Structure 1
Amino acid sequence: MQGLKDKVVIVTGGGGGIGGASCERLAAEGARVAVLDRDLSAAQKTAERIAAQGGTAAAFACDITSRGDVDAAITAVEAGLGPIDVLVNNAGWDVFKPFVQTSAQEWEKLIAINLTGALQMHHAVLPRMVERNRGRIVNIASDAARVGSSGEAVYAACKGGLVSFSKTIAREHARHNITVNVVCPGPTETALFAGFADAAPNPEKLREAFKRSIPLGRLGQAQDLAGAIAFFASDDSAYITGQVISVSGGLTMNG
């Protein structure tokens, strides 16, 4: 893909799953990747895999729910790798319960990680991009935001908010040559999905039901998302902003 070589890219939640696969893909395209994760050891493992493949990456501990952590991580990234060209907001968390069985404490955690954390990353990085008059932001939402998902009411609300926020920021900062786009995963084999499946009475039956409902006949893999994320981070998408794409094997088809 064009325009990723030597670009500095931040990926939150880069310690595994979609985040880890995206870090590896971006590094393979020549980017200098800042792997941010609350779990520093997980971030370090991703950075080590990238280094072993000949890429450039550095790991940074960051709890996106803490503005102090976010500011410290941004400063450390720019000191170690250079000015930030691309921000990928991937970190997320979910709890799978009918809404009436959830608690206010769970709502607060869901909102803090899935919405407020992403807002804090934007608030910290955007002024730097504006100053340089360039940037790419890729926000990872969910098809739960587009079509709903039983047992994920507050998560879906957060991701729906992130979609609307992304479109607004895309409008506000188009004049600064900053693009903002959204990737919505469908059912994908990650630790998050495993937690959802394992909570079901028959996890294997649930997985098979998902596979039957997906036109391409399989659950998504983290690598399936990495290509779409790299595309929106690259110059190949320079004339695309404020858009939302589902990577769901055809489960959701939105015009």
Structure 2
Amino acid sequence: MNHLSPPNFKHQTIKPNSTLLVIGGCGGIGFGVVEQALALGVKVVVMDLAIAGAQRDISAVSHFIAVDLRDKTSIVAAFAMVESLDITFDSVVISSGYTLGSEPISTLDIDKFDDVMSGNLRGPVIALQYVSKYLSQHASIVLLSTAIGQIGSVGYAAYGAAKSGLNAITRILAAELSPAHRVNAIAPGAVDTAFIRGGYASGAKESGSALRFNVEEYNKKIPLGRMANIDDVIGPILFLLSDSARYITGQVIHVNGGGLMRD
């Protein structure tokens, strides 16, 4: 058996002075991860849409690199920038995600379906192809999934299918990159961010009434009685990036206040 030094259980979070890449780092959850990582003394590189970067105060990050996950050329250019900067990553979080409204399959706009699948599944897979070349020893990856693919949310065929596909990618990539690297996913339920109001990059506000669903009705179905806030999701992400999670890989962790309970 390989000898392992015991983890430092006082620090069940990402290591200070490590380097973190957050793809989708200007969205609600992604930016929350960025802020907490910076507060912990982590060097952070953010990739996101140029318009999203312009809307955030990202002056404290090491580098901002514009990328559109729907466009392979844009992804290639983003990682060419990583190459030119000579960066390796100790941790990677892909927290990007968007949908184009709610529409039943019977009347589904296939062009919108393709767009959402491209940005939420195809793009992250291409990004993972490239990022694997820039991982330091024992680097950890966390992908942001969703409970929607498991609970059958009416109208979210593209988003649910894409994120369910990302769950499969999590398991497959974990097997492919082991034992050198760990890959896991966090699957939140509804989170109080701009996403539930139309999406941050689309100009949606981060507070106010939700556009996508009835919050009061949603909360009645949650055993813990409320919708998640950003911190409820950031904590598990940072834990999975820590040494305390060193024996966890290939898992999709559901963070939803009990709204979905499963093995």
Normalising by the residue count of structure 2, what TM-score does the alignment of the two structures yield? 0.84
2:157 aligned to which of 153, 178, 182: 153
Aligned to 2:77: 72
Q: CA RMSD in A?
A: 2.2
Q: What's the CA shift string for 1:107-137, capped at 9, x where partnerless?
A: 11011111011101100011333xx543211
Identify, as 1 or 2, the structure richer in helix. Answer: 1
The alignment covers a number of residue pairs equal to 242
1:179 matches 2:208: no
2:118 aligned to which of 112, 120, 136: 112
2:198 aligned to which of 179, 195, 198: 195
Aligned equivalents of 1:214, 1:117: Cα separation in 2: 32
1:62 aligned to which of 67, 71, 74: 67
CA contact (8 A) 1:8 1:81 kept: no
1:20 matches 2:35: no
Aligned equivalents of 1:217, 1:238: Cα separation in 2: 32
How far the C-alpha of 1:174 sits from its partner, in A, is 0.8
Aligned equivalents of 1:215, 1:161: Cα separation in 2: 27
CA contact (8 A) 1:11 1:89 kept: yes
CA contact (8 A) 1:78 1:84 kept: no
**Paired-residue identity, %:** 30
CA contact (8 A) 2:14 2:37 kept: no
Q: Which ranges of structure 2 fall in alignment gaps of 5 or more residues?
A: 1-11, 200-208
Between 65-74 and 206-215, report the one with greater CA deviation. Answer: 65-74
Q: Within 5 Å, which residues of 2 pair with 1:1-255?
A: 1=12, 4-40=15-51, 42=53, 45-48=56-59, 51=60, 56-77=61-82, 79-80=84-85, 82-94=87-99, 95-129=101-135, 132-175=136-179, 177-195=180-198, 199=211, 206-255=214-263
CA contact (8 A) 1:25 1:227 kept: no
Aligned equivalents of 2:106, 2:170: Cα separation in 1: 29
Equivalent residue letter for 1:58: H
Report the CA distance shift for 1:171/1:6 in structure 2 as closer, same or farther (over 3 A): same
Equivalent residue letter for 1:98: P
